[in-house]
Amino acid sequence: MRDLSEVGVRLERPFDPKTARSVVQLEIELPGIDEVLWARAEVSFAILTPMSGRTADGQPRFWCRAGLRLAGVCQRERSMLRDYVVETHRARIRAAS
């Protein structure tokens, strides 16, 4: 996971066409919080970048950078996520001062 907001997330990982889907189920562990958030997310964009080498079946390899919009999150978990994002942002501002 590269970026997180209360409405979405950006992921980067090797692309696997066998498991690629437009809707995914996410399990998000927030650092410092002893809870796991479950969310359904829809891919809003995906950018594939060629990687060196080939897969075991001889296909080219790709790195995938994808933006996911959180579509199915319960209200309690959405509030927890919002609070985490706001507090993390405030901590970064204080650290930069």
pLDDT at 10 over 90: yes
Model confidence pLDDT, tens digit, residues 39-91: 999 999 999 999 999 988 899 999 999 999 999 899 999 999 999 999 988 99
- Kindly report the pTM of this predicted structure: 0.80
Q: Are 54 and 61 in contact (CB under 8 A)?
A: yes
